[in-house]
Structure 1
Amino acid sequence: MISRTQALTACVAFWTTTILGGCVVNPVTGERQVSLISAQEDIQLGQQHYAANQQQQGGQYTIDPTLQNYVSQVGQKLARVSDRPQLPYEFVVLNNSVPNAWALPGGKIAINRGLLVLLDDEAELAAVLSHEIVHAAARHSATAMSQQQLLGAGLAIVGAATQNSGYSDLISTGTQLGGSAYIARYSRGNELESDQYGMKYMAAAGYDPQGAVRLQRKFVELSEGRQTGGLEALFASHPPSQSRVSANIKHSQSLPKGGITNQAAYQKAIAQLKRDADAYKNYDNAIAAANNKNFDSALTLVRKAQKQQPKEAAFYALEGDLLSQKKQYKNARKAYDRAIQKDPALFSYWLKRGITNIKLKHYSSAEGDLTRSLRYLDTAYAHYYLGQTYERQGNKQSAYKHYQEAAGAGGEIGTMAQNRIKAIANKG
């Protein structure tokens, strides 16, 4: 976080410009800071990108809906005692093994199931959620993006944690599937600020603020170990340190002693996740095996995961990916059918089944699947393969339109689309 002197200097330099925002008061600390994004634009950004970020990171965890409700209730309890209780807060659990949590501008917050299984009680969950609430309430993302613009970088995406979301490039769909992610890599000052005021919110909501101390100690221990358990994404955006532990201990001394931990309630809430731990471990190992081109081993692992938890759509989608890699397209389509039946609200399942239908020359079905995927997330891949679908049916006008959409994304898929545009043009 830039210093108050730096912020005031920037404000003086830019207050006469026509750029919206400028020098504003941090709603949490009361200090002056630079923001070129209005509070209303902040909320709009979060609302605009929340669903897309969820889609890119595995979608919502659906096996146990009561867990979603539980996390949301804890989050809303904390939000009500925050410095900006009027924000349209939302809290979701994502079906992602990476231990991580994030906040978009305007109070749109997510936590991965991979992080929930590392926590011991509700106070530690409250520490995670209150920390993210402060990021949203203090408008840390707006400050980070504004600093980017002041440095001449424009309103850039500051960083997104989308790895290990289950969509490998097994069938050439790649990992960059489109959409924008305004998830900041926060400064050290932002992190300390979120720790401090997050603990304040915890105490105000009746939680034991020592939960935040325990949480940071746990993260420091994990970061110092040889095996971080996939915590790189969390540590990249929320780096742990002994100094943060010490700061949290100091903050806790000024807060009320005691408070609830609700360990029994928390353990009950994550009981299904713990029962399914082996299934998700087999799934993650299957992804790792596939990335190493060990497709037969990956199939064995993911089918074992299916037997352990037959309700998980992601397990069947991965089977479809693996069968597609082996060019067993009919069986791959059956696997995607099962994934869609279990979770019809994730774009990647429709996208992959659409591509498989192209391989099977079922162009009408492919058109329907790819169009459906665009309802959930607009991707260059869906547009490119819709172009393929229309071109192979002789509809050059529609093919050209979708290739143009894909070409605008750049990268490998953009180049492929540009080549098809040139080919169509050459054919007249």
Structure 2
Amino acid sequence: MSVRLNCEVCVTRRSFVRFFVSLLCLLLFAAACSAPIMPRLPQPSDRLSDGSAAEIPEVDQRNYSWLIQQLGGVYPDAELATYVDRVGQSLVSGLSPAGMEYRFVVLNDLVPNAVSLPGGFVAISRGLLVRLKSEAQLAAVLGCEIGHIRAGHHLQGVERDSGHRVDPELSVDSEYLELAISLSSVEQELLTKNYSLTQEQEADRLAVDMLAASGYLPDAVLELLEGYLEQQDHTDDGSVRLFRAHPVSPERLEKVRSYIGKYYPVRVSGGGGKDFLALVEPLQQSAESFRLYNQGRQLERKGQFAQAIAIYHQALQVAPEDALILAGLGLAYLRTEDMVPARRYLLKAVNLQGDYAKTRLGLGYLYLQKWQYAQAVNQLEASLRLLPTVEGAFLLAEAQQNIGQKVKARDLYRIVASVDQEGKLGRLAEQRQIVLDGE
């Protein structure tokens, strides 16, 4: 490694340490407002009119991965995941026409939320699960999201990007070509899509039909919305996202009540309940850790890092094996440049939930700052496989440059410069690329 490169890295480390830590924390806290790395949406012209699997000839796996990573990753509880999927599959088993394959997952996100994607991807957060009172209400949540998919609401009003903007000088043999394509697919951000009242009412009707056909009391949809309306009037900061995306009003409740009364005047419930209570009970028992974790996040947003760290430690006393809290604590230490405890808690978080990109990104950055470049490469590559980000690509380029992998570093810098042309990282990446091109 040249003296010039060593000096350059030192200058970069001094100049950008706070900049990168701020970006990493922004990525953790602002899932729907992070760097502009968006999935490819299906073209409106891809849709047919019958709601079948043929609507989406090829749903890009990046869409699903991006959604999951933006909302905390998959919650690591196999039994709960199997249960939620079983409830969801019972709702779609009788749909006609058949053919679309649905996937139901639980997100490791404490914020109450439920989201879906075209192609049959439905997710509910652990933060919303703990607020539900029965399996029928869980079915109602999943049913409403299925309704949005079947009605094609995701694709309504979507404006397509002109296409992938991959630097033509990037070799087709580059191992980072797929990364370049992912980073250049800038589209409408699905998590900020808000449904109209008309769309919600259509999804409600479809959910009522599915619940009734599956043996659940369709009144569960009404119960769910009544709970939403009450929470909306007394919402905390974390619930804003749910109610912004899914607006609730007395009019919406009345429409559901009228629809149920007209089409399902006689109702018999066959939906279960004991499994729901048993599986959700551990989440309910950790409600205090939820409260403390959210309090810590709010303190960090105010710049009160020492107080936030103390609160995170209290949360860990309640839930010592919670990967989300461990990641939050590790990144809080990273933000204060206290690398020893940052490494300890980030490593534990990765060991508990290895498929969460932002924890691996933070750990990769930490190794880079400690000049442990091989470990940095491992963590950053793992992060980018889970969720492509400009920050991760730039950090990986720096790590590759410092272990002498100039071709890989140059390709990565070129990608960042192409995607982030107006940003600070893009400009720095262009400078690095020019230097490497001249060597």
Task: Report the TM-score, using the length of structure 2 for normalisation.
Answer: 0.78
- C-alpha separation in 2, matches of 1:297 and 1:43: 50
**CA 1:27/1:20 → structure 2, altered by over 3 Å: closer, same or farther?**
closer
SS of equivalent to 2:388 = coil
Shift of residue 263, structure 1, vs aligned partner: 4.2
1:418 aligns with 2:435: no
Report what 1:205 is aligned to. 214
Shift of residue 321, structure 1, vs aligned partner: 1.1
More moved, 183-192 vs 291-300: 183-192
1:73 aligns with 2:86: yes
Shift of residue 374, structure 1, vs aligned partner: 1.9
Write the mapping of 1:47-62 to structure 2, written as runs, cut at 5 A. Answer: 47-62=61-76
**CA 1:120/1:415 → structure 2, altered by over 3 Å: closer, same or farther?**
farther
Report what 2:204 is aligned to. 195
Match of 2:259 among 225, 244, 251: 251
1:120 aligns with 2:133: yes
**CA 1:278/1:85 → structure 2, altered by over 3 Å: closer, same or farther?**
farther
Match of 1:371 among 381, 402, 406: 381
Q: Which runs of 5 or more structure 1 residues have no equivalent in the other structure? A: 1-18, 29-38, 157-175
Report what 1:404 is aligned to. 414
Does the CA-based 8 Å contact 2:109-2:126 persist in structure 1? yes
- C-alpha separation in 2, matches of 1:343 and 1:307: 19
Matched length? 373
Does the CA-based 8 Å contact 2:103-2:122 persist in structure 1? yes
Q: Which runs of 5 or more structure 2 residues have no equivalent in the other structure? A: 1-42, 165-182
Does the CA-based 8 Å contact 1:91-1:109 persist in structure 2? yes
Shift of residue 415, structure 1, vs aligned partner: 3.5
Shift of residue 192, structure 1, vs aligned partner: 1.0
Shift of residue 67, structure 1, vs aligned partner: 1.5
The higher relative CO (CA closer than 8 Å, separation ≥ 6) is in 2
Write the mapping of 1:304-323 to structure 2, written as runs, cut at 5 A. Answer: 304-323=314-333
Match of 1:349 among 317, 335, 359: 359
Report what 1:224 is aligned to. 233
Shift of residue 138, structure 1, vs aligned partner: 2.4
Which amino acid in the other structure matches residue 103 of structure 2?
Answer: E
Shift of residue 26, structure 1, vs aligned partner: 4.7
Shift of residue 155, structure 1, vs aligned partner: 9.1
More moved, 394-403 vs 241-250: 394-403
**CA 1:137/1:40 → structure 2, altered by over 3 Å: closer, same or farther?**
same
Match of 1:241 among 226, 241, 249: 249
Does the CA-based 8 Å contact 2:195-2:247 persist in structure 1? no
- C-alpha separation in 1, matches of 2:50 and 2:396: 46
Report what 1:25 is aligned to. 49
Which amino acid in the other structure matches residue 391 of structure 1?
Answer: Q
SS of equivalent to 1:231 = helix
Which amino acid in the other structure matches residue 72 of structure 1?
Answer: D
**CA 1:20/1:117 → structure 2, altered by over 3 Å: closer, same or farther?**
closer
1:303 aligns with 2:316: no
**CA 1:83/1:100 → structure 2, altered by over 3 Å: closer, same or farther?**
farther
**CA 1:179/1:74 → structure 2, altered by over 3 Å: closer, same or farther?**
farther
Shift of residue 421, structure 1, vs aligned partner: 3.1
Report what 1:105 is aligned to. 118
Report what 2:173 is aligned to. none
- C-alpha separation in 2, matches of 1:235 and 1:408: 36
**CA 1:188/1:43 → structure 2, altered by over 3 Å: closer, same or farther?**
farther
Match of 1:140 among 132, 153, 159: 153
Which amino acid in the other structure matches residue 433 of structure 2?
Answer: I
Shift of residue 203, structure 1, vs aligned partner: 0.3
Give the percent of matched residue pairs that are identical in Structure 1 and Structure 2: 28
SS of equivalent to 1:45 = coil
Shift of residue 154, structure 1, vs aligned partner: 6.4
Report what 1:340 is aligned to. 350
- C-alpha separation in 2, matches of 1:205 and 1:413: 52
Shift of residue 392, structure 1, vs aligned partner: 3.1
1:267 aligns with 2:280: no
Which amino acid in the other structure matches residue 75 of structure 1?
Answer: G
More moved, 135-144 vs 244-253: 135-144
1:398-417 Cα offsets, whole Å, 9 max, x none, are 32211122223324433442
- C-alpha separation in 1, matches of 2:55 and 2:212: 30
- C-alpha separation in 2, matches of 1:40 and 1:244: 31
Report what 2:340 is aligned to. 330
Shift of residue 334, structure 1, vs aligned partner: 2.0
**CA 1:95/1:412 → structure 2, altered by over 3 Å: closer, same or farther?**
farther
**CA 1:424/1:126 → structure 2, altered by over 3 Å: closer, same or farther?**
same
**CA 1:372/1:412 → structure 2, altered by over 3 Å: closer, same or farther?**
same
Report what 1:131 is aligned to. 144
Task: Report the TM-score, using the length of structure 1 for normalisation.
Answer: 0.80
Shift of residue 231, structure 1, vs aligned partner: 1.9
- C-alpha separation in 1, matches of 2:275 and 2:341: 42
1:342-397 Cα offsets, whole Å, 9 max, x none, are 11111222211111011111111111211122221222122100111133345443
Shift of residue 131, structure 1, vs aligned partner: 0.9
SS of equivalent to 2:99 = coil
1:116-147 Cα offsets, whole Å, 9 max, x none, are 111111111111111111111222223343xx
Write the mapping of 1:174-185 to structure 2, written as runs, cut at 5 A. Answer: 182=190, 184-185=193-194
